[in-house]
Chain A
Amino acid sequence: MNRLWSLLFLLVPLGATGSVVMAALNIPPLDGMWVPANQNPGETRIDSLVVTLHLVSAVVMMGTGLVLAGIMWTGTRPGIQRAQYFTHHAGLEILWSVVPAAILLWLAISQYAAWSDMRLERPVVQGPGGVRQDVPPLIRVYAQRFAWEFHHAGADGSVGTADDVIALNELVVPAGQDVVMEMLSRDVIHNFCVPSLRLKQDIVPGLKQLVWFRTHAGYSTDIVCTELCGWGHYLMQARLRCVSPEEYGAWIREHSLAAGPGGEDAR
Chain B
Amino acid sequence: MSELHSLPGATVRRNPLSWIFSRDHKTIGLQFLFSSLLWMGIGGLLALAIRWQLAWPWTEIPVLGSWLFSAEGGQITPEFYNVLFTMHATVMIFFVVIPILSGAFGNFLIPLMIGARDMAFPTLNMLSYWLMWPAFACMVCSVLVPGQGPSSGWTSYPPLSALFSDSQSLWAIGLLIVGVASMLGAINYITTIFQMRAPGMKMMRLPMTIWGLLVTAILQAFALPVLTAALLMQLGDQLLGTGFFVPQYVVDGTEAASAGAGGDPLLWQHLFWFYSHPAVYIMILPAMGMVSDILSCFSRKPLFGYRPMVISMCAIAGLGFVVWGHHMFVSGMNYLLSVSFAVSTMLIALPSGVKVFNWLGTVWGGRLQMSAPMLYALGFVSMFVIGGLSGVVMASPAVDILVHDTYYIVAHFHYVLFGSSLLAVFGAIHFWFPRMFGRMMNETAGKLHFFLTFVFLNGTFFPMHFLGLRGFPRRYADASVVETFRDLMPLNEFITWCAFGMAAAQILFIANFLGSMLFGRRAADNPWHANSLEWSAPTPIPHGNFPVIPTVHRGPYEYSHPDCEQDFWPQDQA
Which A residues are closer than 8 A to B by beta carbons? Answer: 2, 5, 8-9, 12, 15-16, 19-20, 23, 30, 32-36, 45-46, 49-50, 53-54, 56-57, 60-61, 64-65, 67-68, 71-72, 75-77, 79-89, 92-93, 96-97, 100-101, 104-105, 107-108, 111-112, 114-115, 117-120, 140, 160, 182, 184, 186-189, 191, 193, 195, 198-209, 221-222, 224-235, 237, 264
Contact of A46 among B265, B402, B475 (CB under 8 A): B402
> B127 on the interface (CB 8 Å rule)?
no
Q: A106: shortest Cβ distance to chain B, in Å?
A: 9
Q: A56–B390 Cα gap in the complex (Å)?
A: 11
Contact of A71 among B360, B389, B481 (CB under 8 A): B360
B304 touches A88 (CB 8 A): yes
Q: B357: shortest Cβ distance to chain A, in Å?
A: 4
**Nearest chain A residue, comparing its CB with the CB of B406:** A226
Q: A8–B455 Cα gap in the complex (Å)?
A: 9
> B366 on the interface (CB 8 Å rule)?
yes
Residues of A within 8 A of B369 (CB): 76-77, 79-80
> B34 on the interface (CB 8 Å rule)?
no
> B401 on the interface (CB 8 Å rule)?
yes
Q: A229–B162 Cα gap in the complex (Å)?
A: 12
A23 touches B397 (CB 8 A): no
A67 touches B343 (CB 8 A): no
> B22 on the interface (CB 8 Å rule)?
no
User: How many residues belonging to B are interface residues under a CB distance threshold of 8 Å?
Assistant: 113
A182 touches B466 (CB 8 A): no
B404 touches A104 (CB 8 A): no
Residues of A within 8 A of B396 (CB): 49, 53, 107, 111, 114-115
- Residues 379-396 of chain B, each 1 if its beta carbon lies under 8 Å from chain A, else 0: 001110110011011011
Q: A234: shortest Cβ distance to chain B, in Å?
A: 4
Which B residues are closer than 8 A to A by beta carbons? Answer: 77-79, 81-82, 148, 151-153, 157, 159-160, 163, 247-254, 260, 264-266, 299-308, 330-332, 335-336, 338-339, 342-343, 346-347, 349-350, 353-354, 356-358, 360-361, 363-370, 375, 378, 381-383, 385-386, 389-390, 392-393, 395-399, 401-402, 404-406, 451, 454-455, 458, 462, 465-466, 469-471, 473, 475-479, 481-484, 487, 491, 529, 557, 559-562, 567
A228 touches B153 (CB 8 A): yes
**Nearest chain B residue, comparing its CB with the CB of A209:** B332
Residues of A within 8 A of B484 (CB): 36, 195, 221-222, 224
Contact of A231 among B78, B338, B401 (CB under 8 A): B78
Residues of B within 8 A of A201 (CB): 330, 332
Q: A60–B391 Cα gap in the complex (Å)?
A: 13
**Nearest chain B residue, comparing its CB with the CB of A198:** B401
Q: A24–B361 Cα gap in the complex (Å)?
A: 32
Contact of A104 among B346, B465, B476, B481 (CB under 8 A): B346
Q: A259–B67 Cα gap in the complex (Å)?
A: 50
